[in-house]
Structure 1
Amino acid sequence: MSNWKVFFALIVLYAHGTQILTQAIVFREYIGANFENVRFSDVPINPNIQVHFILSFAIDFTSGSSPKPTNGKFNVFWDADNLSPSQVLSIKRQHPNVKVGLSIGGDSVSDKSVNFTAFSIDSWVSNAVSSLTSVIKQYNLDGIDIDYEHFHATPDIFAQCIGRLVTILKNNRVISFASIAPFDDGDVQRHYLALWRSYGRVFYYVNFQFYAYDRSTTVAQFLSYFETQSANYNGGKVLVSFSTDSSGGLKPENGFFMACERLRSQRKLNGIFVWSADNSKANGFRYERQAQALLAKA
């Protein structure tokens, strides 16, 4: 092989390795759910890692005081005044390492549980593809996160609806990445594990909500939980997480970053995500800076 061919092959291998590393080392943060007037530009952004903002939430419910399911017709329920399409474009132009996605579902709207509800698989998928494609293109978004936490559908129906939705969005090149956000609850896990068994190949990240565990969680317990969920979602990049609200789990002040260092030393730290920027604004995003600095070392 000639010298220039060897040189070109080395460049390709290096670029491919860099792409894999960049995909793995990611910091993600949910933003916009609590209407705390937080903007993308408020959040620190380390240039040496990939940063994902996840707009929260797009929900297939009507707005108003008595929201009702719409069978896959999604509406924007995040703080669109401060997180508008122009602001998405601006933050991505300023920071080439930033991507922005949206999360669908969530826990509640107007104090009413957001139950996943499909009148039929075909009709839900058709409506969801149409409505979400419109929102994603309007906001110039890159990906989708699945965060339903309550269900008025069987695990199989949920799996078929969500799996087909994400597959179509990816095949149509509407999105470049997809993730799921389960937590350790029996009904939740039944639905997401059914989705994973049938469609795990179309998801890259697993935003596992480790902050849904008890607030007394120790470092050792946290690491055990991580191993359990990595086995459950085998083949996915399971991200560790903490919350900056009153949720539970292992908090930064109680050893979260110690656990991350342990995972980093074992080459198991795929990334970190935070719930949420709205809550972190009050303390100046202290833990976001620490998390990103740790990931930059990984």
Structure 2
Amino acid sequence: MGFSKLFVALLMLQVLLAVASSTQENINAPKSDLFREYIGAEFNGVKFTDLPINPNVEFHYLLAFAIDYTTSSSSSPTDGKFNVFWDTDNLSPSQVSSIKSQHSNVKVGLSLGGDSVGGGSCYFSPSSVDSWVSNAVSSLTKIIQEYNLDGIDIDYEHFHADPDTFAECIGKLITTLKNNGVISFASIAPFDDDEVQSHYLALWKNYAHVIDYVNFQFYAYDQGTTISQFIKYFQTQSSNYKGGNILASMSTDGSGGLSPENGFFTACNRLKSQGKLGGIFVWSADDSKASGFLYEKQSQALLAAPR
């Protein structure tokens, strides 16, 4: 009788451990219903209301871009004093408030930096950590509050500062904005380039705890990327940014990476079924306007479907 009771107790313990393990896996798996899209960089008249919004996803617009450069024809760095460089005629503060009031699942953020400004490369150029952070916190707080925004995305791609300086500037900026209640989320947008990765990995090493999403630019890989290559790239970057919510990405300007025609959604479905997909983001709404946002609809349908 004692042996029988012991056997039953051990069996129940195994069941409980299995349930706990399964529950922990579900907790650790990324929430994969997040859709994000960059908007406003190309001034082609695209509006928030042009995009289809699936009510069953979390939807983030990312205004592109806010840049710490002057707005004059010969743009120059301003040491963290940010100005708005997106299409404000069509993406104004009132239009931000309107789209958020119409859709409870919509949040709007702004992206910092980008590839170019005023016809030249956009460089991260702080004079010092303290001065840049002070200026950035002040200027971005003003913009974020004026536009009723929810978060920031970091998309610097060229650097006049070493990785540790970049890490401290951006890390302290995000930390301060979050501590001040100015933003609720922050993301980074690296891609597979040695200089770019050295800066973002330094940031990740010390400030991963304040970064909510990794908008990895998988479309910066070669055009003609295959499904198996994409999965391999995704696994590599998941290892680089260990513990992060890694989003799959595509570009609708046909520039590179794994295209929908070559299996982007097949790859995303596979990652989602494995509990690895942190969401999908698209560059960009400006490019998608001409085709009626076909791939945005497909992306959101995939994310909204049960795993």
Q: TM-score range by the shorter chain?
A: over 0.9
- Between the aligned partners of 2:102 and 2:209, the Cα distance in structure 1 is 32
- Between the aligned partners of 2:278 and 2:189, the Cα distance in structure 1 is 15
Once the two structures are superposed, the pairs formed by residues 137-152 of structure 1 within 5 Å of their partners are: 137-152=145-160
- Between the aligned partners of 1:20 and 1:171, the Cα distance in structure 2 is 25
Equivalent in the alignment of 1:294: 302
User: Conserved in 1, the CA contact under 8 Å of 2:265 and 2:299?
Assistant: yes
Aligned mate of 1:25, from 33, 55, 60: 33
Aligned mate of 2:181, from 173, 179, 182: 173
Shift of 1:246: 3.0
Matched, 1:203 2:176: no
Once the two structures are superposed, the pairs formed by residues 210-225 of structure 1 within 5 Å of their partners are: 210-225=218-233
- Where 1:237 maps in the other structure, the secondary structure is coil
Gaps of 5+ in 2: 1-25
Gaps of 5+ in 1: 1-17
Matched, 1:184 2:183: no
- Between the aligned partners of 2:97 and 2:28, the Cα distance in structure 1 is 25
- Between the aligned partners of 1:227 and 1:21, the Cα distance in structure 2 is 14
Equivalent in the alignment of 1:132: 140
- Where 1:160 maps in the other structure, the secondary structure is helix
Moved over 3 A (4+): 18-24
**TM-score normalised per structure 1:** 0.92
After superposition, the C-alpha distances for 1:97-143 in whole angstroms (9 at most, x for unaligned) are 00000000000012110000000100000000000000000000000
Larger CA Rg, structure 1 vs 2: 2
Matched, 1:246 2:254: yes
- Between the aligned partners of 1:21 and 1:291, the Cα distance in structure 2 is 19
User: Conserved in 1, the CA contact under 8 Å of 2:189 and 2:214?
Assistant: yes
Aligned mate of 1:257, from 257, 265, 270: 265
Aligned mate of 1:62, from 48, 65, 70: 70
**TM-score normalised per structure 2:** 0.90
User: Conserved in 2, the CA contact under 8 Å of 1:183 and 1:189?
Assistant: yes
User: Conserved in 1, the CA contact under 8 Å of 2:68 and 2:78?
Assistant: yes
User: Conserved in 2, the CA contact under 8 Å of 1:22 and 1:49?
Assistant: no
User: Conserved in 1, the CA contact under 8 Å of 2:249 and 2:282?
Assistant: yes
Equivalent in the alignment of 1:230: 238
- Between the aligned partners of 2:149 and 2:255, the Cα distance in structure 1 is 28
Shift of 1:64: 2.2
Go from structure 1 to structure 2 and tell me whether the alpha carbon gap of 1:233 and 1:125 turns closer, same or farther (over 3 Å shift): same
Aligned mate of 1:92, from 76, 100, 111: 100
Equivalent in the alignment of 1:15: none
